[in-house]
Amino acid sequence: MNAPTVVDSVAALRAQVQDWRRAGLRVAMVPTMGALHDGHISLVRIALEQADRCVVSIFVNPTQFAPTEDLDKYPRQLARDLDRLREAGAHLAFTPSVGEMYPAGFATKISVGGPSSGLETDFRPSFFDGVATVVAKLFLQAAPDFAVFGEKDYQQLCVVRQLCRDLDLPVEIVGAPTVRDAHGLAMSSRNAYLGEAELDVARLLNVILRRTAGALSTGTDEAAATEDAAKALISAGFRKVDYVAARASVTLAPWQRNRGGRLLAAAWLGTTRLIDNVEIPSA
C-alpha cells in the first residue's frame, strides 16, 4: 500500500478533494482524534468498500474537552497512525493544527438538541457542542459523500446524524459495529491507560451490559435492571458509575418496552472513564 498523502491545511485538503471530484470519484471521510486502533481501521475499511477515496482526519479537538479532562495526556502518535493508515489503504490524512481549525477570533459554536440531551451531557456539558462544531467544520472542509462513525460512541453517532438532518449537510452517516477484543472489551484509545489488572475488570463492562439488555428484553423492570447493573459494575471493580440507561435507538428518548433500544453506560476504572453500549432486542 502507498502511504497516504498528508495535508495540514484546509486549502490543501479542498484542492485534493476537488481533484478527485473532477475525476468522478466518490469520497468518504473518517473523523478521528488519532491514537488509531483496530476499531478506527475497521471504519477505514468500511469507507473503502463504498468509496473510491478515503480521507482520515487526525485532530485532538480541544473544544470537546472540559478543563478537568485529559486533553493534555490524550495519546498522540502521528507516525504510528500514518503507518496504520498506509496498511489500511487510506488515501489522505488531514492533520490540522488547533490554529488551523480555530484561528484567532473564532467565535461560533453549534449546539444540537434531541439525542444530545442527558447521558454524556449530564457529565460533560460542553462535549457535544465541541463534537458538533468540529464535525460540521470537517464536513464543510472535505465535502465527503459519506462519513463513517463507530457505534461504540453511540450517542455521538446519533448527534452527528441529527446535525446533518437539521442543517441539510449532504453527507450520509454510516454507523459501523463496535470492534472488540477477544474478551468483548470495546476498542478505545483510552484503553492504553489501563494496566493488565484493570483490563480484566474493564472486560466485564460489556458482559454486564449484555446480561442486563437480555433481562430488559424478557420483561425485567427497567429501573431495577439498570440499578442492578450499576451495582454489578461496582462489585466488579469499577470505581464509579456515571450512568446505565435504556434509550430509544434513534432519538435516545426514554426506552419503550417491546421496542428495540440501546443500553448505554459510562463508568470509571481508576482515573479512566469507559463507555459502551449494546442493543436491547425487541421482545
- The domain locations on the chain are 5-176, 189-278
Catalytic residue among 4, 30, 32, 40: 40
Question: Per-residue pLDDT averaged across 67-80, rounded?
Answer: 91
Neighbours of 85 (CB within 10 A): 26
> For residues 279 and 261, what is the distance between their CA atoms, to the nearest angstrom?
6
Question: Per-residue pLDDT averaged across 22-34, rounded?
Answer: 98
Write down the pLDDT at residue 282: 83
278 or 189, higher pLDDT: 278
Nine-digit cell string for 181:
477484543
Write down the pLDDT at residue 260: 80
> For residues 237 and 183, what is the distance between their CA atoms, to the nearest angstrom?
17
Q: Is 172 annotated as a binding residue?
A: no
91 is catalytic: no
pLDDT-based confidence at residue 27 (cuts at 50, 70, 90): very high
Question: Per-residue pLDDT averaged across 199-216, rounded?
Answer: 97
Write down the pLDDT at residue 92: 98
Host H or E run for residue 125? none
State how far Cα 262 lies from the chain centre.
15
Report the percentage of the chain scoring pLDDT > 70: 100
State whether the Cα torsion 184-186-189-192 is positive or negative.
negative
We find that the CATH architecture of domain 5-176 is 3-Layer(aba) Sandwich (3.40)
230 or 192, higher pLDDT: 230
Show the DSSP H helices in the chain as ranges. Answer: 10-22, 38-50, 78-88, 98-101, 120-123, 127-142, 154-167, 196-202, 204-217, 222-236
Write down the pLDDT at residue 30: 98
Q: What is the pTM of this model?
A: 0.96
Contact 88, 44 (CB under 8 A): yes
pLDDT tens profile 118-145: 999 999 999 999 999 999 999 999 999 9
The answer to whether the 5-176 and 189-278 domains have the same CATH topology is no
Write down the pLDDT at residue 111: 97
Q: Is 43 annotated as a binding residue?
A: no
Quick check: 283 pLDDT over 80? no
Q: Is 25 annotated as a binding residue?
A: no
Report whether CATH 2.40.33.10 matches the domain 189-278: no
Strand pairing category for 261-269 and 240-248: antiparallel
Contact 1, 89 (CB under 8 A): yes
Write down the pLDDT at residue 53: 98
Q: Is 181 annotated as a binding residue?
A: no
Contact 63, 133 (CB under 8 A): yes
Nine-digit cell string for 71:
486533553
